[in-house]
């Protein structure tokens, strides 16, 4: 048997990097570890990638320490809690946040693909899901008027936009998506819809997003693209339940700021915050898996000695991670249609989602996702972004948004804003490739360094699932397997 196949059996990862069900719930009663290793692996970040990598290693007897810079587990998987308090990134318009009958996902909110990594976890945990696409349809704003998708199937511009979207995997020019849209002669009246379908979904806008990276991802993707969502369970609870066996290994409020890896050991230095006071700390490990977002790596918040290889820094130069907002607005009535899924075509917000579909018979909640330059502009407004969004909705729906928005007794608008730009150790939404970038940059970013530094996280996924929870999980499997190859 080839060495890599043997290692995949040891770590519990198949040739397709799929974890079998026996690894889904590791416990202290697991069989005797199959890996004999006296060293310690440090993992930077307690998001999905860091927790999954730790779970794989721990299940085979490898000692791990998980360093999380913030006070929250889950990274960009986070659900609003009734006990949450306002912060720089989480903003309420009143003293207490409005709590709907169903969770408000501040980060990852959908199950991407019914056969993807997240779907497997959800299935293993027997968590109920909603196939919302079968319950409603999308709405497109055309010439300022919202129209059901089924009403515009014969609209030549909508047809052209759909054909462009469906042909993305065949378009590999090193240009922006917007440049390709313009070259294709797509009418400007549907370009905002395309921005919702493509640019915003990838963390930016079409005139900054690289076409080649999008095309390569579409070609590499092997799962289906059907989206579902959790019926009532918080996404954060699902992820933390799946990896509950390693949560006790997380050291919260422990920001690693330096990694020295020139000697026999890897020396991690950083700041540990407690009671609003920061104290320096040092930790010695034998290997380290780094799951920090691209924004953190590019900002120099973590120094490496020796510096990272030029190939890795060059790859980072062709990737960006921009501002990201998630806003929840609650209304006294539904004015956008109870059978609506997404509303595409907005300028302020490329994507409005009818969050109550399949979960609340009142359908009075909109979840709004904005990424890229417009998110940065709205972020600067703070809570004053809400009237801007209401004004756009008023233009679409004859003034009904401002008229029916829910308010508290003091006449304050009920809203919640999650501004990932202001989350200190995340600083944005997801990593995307620029016009001169490609999937090879993700390969370079994921590549181990000197057999001691390993990288994981959504940005390092090379299977076409970057920017998703699936991608984060898959990258953890790759990093864990690569690390184990160096110790067995």
The predicted model gives 255-269 an average pLDDT of: 97
Structure confidence at residue 111 as a pLDDT band (50, 70, 90): very high
The CATH number of whichever domain residue 465 belongs to comes to 3.50.50.60
Kindly state whether residues 259 and 338 are assigned to the same domain: no
The phi, psi pair for 449, rounded to 5°, reads -120, 120
Q: Is the dihedral of CA 364, 370, 374, 376 positive or negative?
A: positive
Task: Report pLDDT for 11.
Answer: 53
Kindly state whether residues 25 and 69 are assigned to the same domain: yes
Q: What span, in angstroms and rounded, lies between the C-alpha atoms of 344 and 360?
A: 22
Report how many domains make up the chain: 3
The predicted model gives 468-474 an average pLDDT of: 98
Among candidate residues 304, 314, 318, 214, the one with its CA nearest the CA of residue 261 = 304
CB 137 within 8 A of CB 341: yes
Kindly state whether residues 122 and 254 are assigned to the same domain: no
Strands of the sheet with 254-260, listed across from one edge: 277-285, 266-274, 254-260, 303-305
Kindly state whether residues 48 and 100 are assigned to the same domain: no
140 inside domain: no
Structure confidence at residue 284 as a pLDDT band (50, 70, 90): very high
User: Quick count: other Cβ atoms within 10 Å of Cβ 211?
Assistant: 23
Higher-confidence residue of 274 and 69: namely: 69
Task: Report pLDDT for 362.
Answer: 77
368-390 confidence digits (pLDDT tens): 999 999 999 999 999 999 999 99
Contacts of 279 (CB under 8 A, 6+ apart): 271, 272, 273
172-191 confidence digits (pLDDT tens): 899 999 999 999 999 999 99
Task: Report pLDDT for 275.
Answer: 75
- Which residue range(s) make up the domain with 337? 90-134+226-234+322-422
Strands of the sheet with 324-330, listed across from one edge: 90-92, 415-419, 324-330, 365-371, 351-354, 340-344, 137-142, 145-148
- Among the listed ranges 219-233, 264-278, 425-439, which one has the minimum average pLDDT value? 264-278
Task: Report pLDDT for 14.
Answer: 34
9-37 confidence digits (pLDDT tens): 555 553 334 443 333 344 444 444 578 99
Kindly state whether residues 121 and 42 are assigned to the same domain: no
78-88 confidence digits (pLDDT tens): 999 988 999 99
203 inside domain: yes
85 inside domain: no
The predicted model gives 99-109 an average pLDDT of: 91
Structure confidence at residue 277 as a pLDDT band (50, 70, 90): confident
Kindly state whether residues 313 and 342 are assigned to the same domain: no
Task: Report pLDDT for 34.
Answer: 75
Most distant pair of Cα atoms in the chain: their distance: 71
Kindly state whether residues 211 and 260 are assigned to the same domain: no
Task: Report pLDDT for 32.
Answer: 46
Kindly state whether residues 41 and 61 are assigned to the same domain: yes
Structure pTM?
0.94
- Mean pLDDT over the full length of the chain: 93
Structure confidence at residue 93 as a pLDDT band (50, 70, 90): confident
* Domain final residue, candidates 192, 220, 248: 220
Kindly state whether residues 313 and 447 are assigned to the same domain: yes
The predicted model gives 335-361 an average pLDDT of: 95
142 inside domain: no
460 inside domain: yes
376 inside domain: yes
Task: Report pLDDT for 65.
Answer: 99
Q: What span, in angstroms and rounded, lies between the C-alpha atoms of 253 and 188?
A: 47
Taking 70 as the threshold, does the pLDDT of residue 63 lie above it? yes
The CATH number of whichever domain residue 340 belongs to comes to 3.90.660.10
55 inside domain: yes
Kindly state whether residues 405 and 329 are assigned to the same domain: yes
Task: Report pLDDT for 82.
Answer: 86
38 inside domain: yes
324-330 vs 415-419, strand pairing mode: antiparallel
The predicted model gives 202-228 an average pLDDT of: 98
Name the β-bridge partners of 267: 260, 284
Kindly state whether residues 117 and 230 are assigned to the same domain: yes
* Domain final residue, candidates 220, 247, 269: 220
Taking 50 as the threshold, does the pLDDT of residue 339 lie above it? yes
* Domain final residue, candidates 220, 245, 262: 220
Taking 60 as the threshold, does the pLDDT of residue 105 lie above it? yes
295-329 confidence digits (pLDDT tens): 999 999 999 999 999 999 999 999 999 999 999 99
Taking 70 as the threshold, does the pLDDT of residue 267 lie above it? yes
Taking 90 as the threshold, does the pLDDT of residue 100 lie above it? no
Kindly state whether residues 354 and 440 are assigned to the same domain: no
């Amino acid at each position: 048997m080839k060495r890599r196949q043997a290692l995949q059996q040891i770590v519990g990862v198949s040739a397709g990097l799929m974890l079998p069900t026996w690894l889904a719930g590791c416990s202290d009663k697991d069989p005797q570890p199959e890996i004999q290793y006296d060293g310690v692996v440090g993992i930077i970040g307690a998001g999905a990638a860091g927790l999954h990598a730790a779970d794989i290693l721990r299940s085979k007897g490898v000692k791990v320490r998980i360093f999380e810079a913030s006070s929250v587990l889950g990274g960009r998987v986070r659900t609003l809690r009734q006990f949450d308090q306002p912060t720089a990134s989480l903003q309420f318009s009143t003293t207490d946040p409005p709590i709907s009958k169903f969770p408000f996902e501040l980060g990852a909110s959908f199950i991407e693909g019914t056969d993807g990594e997240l779907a497997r976890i959800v299935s293993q945990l027997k968590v109920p899901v909603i196939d919302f696409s079968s319950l409603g349809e999308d709405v497109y704003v055309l010439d300022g008027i919202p129209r059901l998708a089924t009403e515009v199937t014969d609209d030549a511009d909508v047809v052209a936009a759909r054909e462009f979207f469906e042909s993305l995997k065949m378009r590999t020019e090193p240009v922006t998506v917007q440049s390709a849209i313009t070259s294709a002669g797509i009418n400007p009246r549907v370009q905002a819809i395309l921005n919702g379908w493509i640019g915003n979904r990838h963390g930016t806008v079409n005139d900054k997003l690289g076409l080649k990276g999008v095309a390569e991802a579409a070609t590499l993707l092997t799962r289906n693209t059907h989206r579902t969502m959790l019926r009532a369970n918080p996404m954060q609870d699902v992820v933390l339940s799946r990896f509950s066996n390693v949560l006790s290994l997380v050291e919260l409020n422990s920001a690693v700021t330096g990694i020295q890896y020139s000697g026999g050991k890897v020396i991690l230095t950083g700041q540990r915050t407690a009671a609003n006071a920061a104290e320096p700390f040092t930790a010695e490990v034998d290997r380290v898996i780094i799951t920090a977002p691209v924004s953190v790596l590019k900002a120099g918040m973590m120094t490496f000695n020796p510096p990272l290889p030029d190939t890795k820094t060059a790859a980072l130069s062709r990737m960006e991670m921009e501002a990201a907002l998630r806003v929840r607005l609650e209304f006294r009535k539904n004015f956008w249609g109870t059978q609506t899924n997404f509303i595409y075509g907005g300028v302020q917000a490329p994507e409005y989602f009818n969050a109550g579909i399949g979960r609340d018979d009142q359908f009075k909640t909109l979840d709004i996702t904005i990424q890229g330059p417009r998110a940065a502009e709205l972020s600067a407004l703070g809570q004053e972004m809400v009237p801007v969004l209401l004004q756009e909705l008023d233009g679409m729906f004859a003034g009904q948004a401002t008229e029916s928005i829910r308010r508290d007794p003091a006449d304050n608008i009920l809203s919640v804003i999650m501004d990932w730009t202001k989350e200190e150790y995340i600083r944005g939404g997801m990593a995307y490739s620029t016009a001169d970038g490609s999937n090879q940059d993700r390969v370079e970013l994921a590549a181990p360094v000197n057999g001691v530094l390993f990288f994981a996280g959504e940005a390092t996924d090379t299977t076409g699932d970057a920017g998703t929870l699936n991608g984060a999980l898959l990258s953890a499997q790759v990093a864990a397997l690569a690390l184990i190859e160096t110790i067995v």
